[in-house]
Structure 1
Amino acid sequence: MNTMKMAMVLLLGSLGAQAYADTVPTTNLRVETYDYSTKLDIEHVISITEPANECAPVPVQMTYEDSHGQRHVLQYQIMGTGCSS
């Protein structure tokens, strides 16, 4: 019984470590600004920030990895979530 509990703790702990690996701080990455001429190489999206609660275009940032495994932060505009109706 103790062996089964220990195995479960180790399994859950290893899953938590994997989830934590995707939360690597991106503070040292340069923020790139998107425009229509930007060539995108997005292999895996890591995170996207929540848009502001405004009824206007607002900036959001997407952190992603390219096909070479390098991380990038891309800033672009979307419509805010504050428009009702």
Structure 2
Amino acid sequence: MIIYSEEPEVTDYEYGMRLDIAEVVAMEYFPPEPDFCGVIPAQMTYEDSTGNLNTIRYLYPETAGCHDN
């Protein structure tokens, strides 16, 4: 297990942004309530090819609460 000394700054993803992802360290999702259906904020922390930590924030389609009724 690798221990990192500081938290990376969070960057908002923009369409077409080139990401240098060597290894995903953590994924986080922020639904407003359990079983939510819709778009939610999420973020991914990753290590790039030079060993630096980066965190990118993006929108994620949460479908846990989606039901076809």
TM-score tier (shorter): 0.7 to 0.9
Kindly provide the CA deviation profile for residues 31-69 of structure 1, in whole angstroms up to 9, marking residues without a partner as x: 111121211100000110135242111011100000100
Q: Which has the higher helix share?
A: 1
Name structure 1 gaps, 5 residues minimum: 1-17
**Greater share of residues in strand:** 2
State how far apart, in whole Å, the 2-side matches of 1:77 and 1:25 are.
Answer: 27
Q: Give the percent of matched residue pairs that are identical in Structure 1 and Structure 2.
A: 31
- Which of 54, 58, 68 pairs up with 1:76? 58
Relative CO higher for 1 or 2, CA cutoff 8 Å, sep ≥ 6?
Answer: 2
What TM-score comes out, normalization by structure 1 length?
0.63
Give the RMSD, CA atoms, in angstroms: 2.0
After superposing on structure 2, the runs of 4+ consecutive aligned residues of structure 1 that deviate more than 4 Å are: none
